[in-house]
C-alpha cells in the first residue's frame, strides 16, 4: 500500500544549483510512479513541491534559487514522467526552514521536498451547502 499522506521524497542539490543530478532523477522516477497510482484513484490529487536552500548567500538569492529548484522538479515530473502540471504546486522557502541548523554549506538543506496536500486543499463538500 502507498502511504504518501505527507512527505513523499526529498531530492538534494549541488551548491548553487537547480539542476537535478542523475542520482536524484532515479529517486524522481519512484516518486512519479507513486504519484501516478494516486492520480489513477483520484485525478484531483495535489502535490506541493517545496524548494529549500542552505544558509550561504543572501536571503533574496536563496529564495530565487529555492523557487528554481521547485520549478525544476515540477517540470521534470511533467515533461519526463507525464505528471499533469495542474496537479503540482511549487513554493520556494529559501533558507527559512533549514533541515540542519548551520550557517555553512550543507547538502541536506539544499533540497526539494514533495508532499501530497490533497486533504489540505480539497473543498469540504459537506460544509459548502450550509
Superfamily covering domain 19-121: OmpA-like domain (3.30.1330.60)
Q: What is the pLDDT of residue 3?
A: 46
In the chain, where the domains are located: 19-121
- The residue count of the chain comes to 130
**pTM for this entry:** 0.87
Question: What is the arithmetic mean of pLDDT over 93-110?
Answer: 95
pLDDT over 90 percentage in the chain: 81
- Check residue 59 and report its DSSP letter: H
Model confidence pLDDT, tens digit, residues 35-60? 999 999 999 999 999 999 999 999 99
Torsion sign over Cα 22, 24, 28, 31: positive
Amino acid at each position: 500500500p502507498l502511504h504518501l499522506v505527507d512527505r513523499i521524497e526529498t531530492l538534494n542539490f549541488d551548491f548553487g544549483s537547480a539542476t537535478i543530478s542523475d542520482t536524484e532523477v532515479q529517486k524522481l522516477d519512484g516518486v512519479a510512479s507513486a504519484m501516478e497510482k494516486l492520480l489513477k484513484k483520484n485525478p484531483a490529487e495535489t502535490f506541493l513541491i517545496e524548494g529549500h536552500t542552505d544558509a550561504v548567500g543572501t536571503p533574496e538569492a536563496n529564495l530565487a534559487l529555492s523557487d528554481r529548484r521547485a520549478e525544476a522538479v515540477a517540470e521534470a515530473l511533467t515533461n519526463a514522467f507525464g505528471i499533469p502540471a495542474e496537479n503540482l504546486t511549487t513554493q520556494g522557502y529559501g533558507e527559512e526552514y533549514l533541515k540542519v541548523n548551520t550557517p555553512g554549506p550543507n547538502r541536506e538543506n539544499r533540497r526539494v521536498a514533495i508532499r501530497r496536500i490533497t486533504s489540505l486543499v480539497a473543498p469540504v463538500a459537506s460544509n459548502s451547502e450550509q
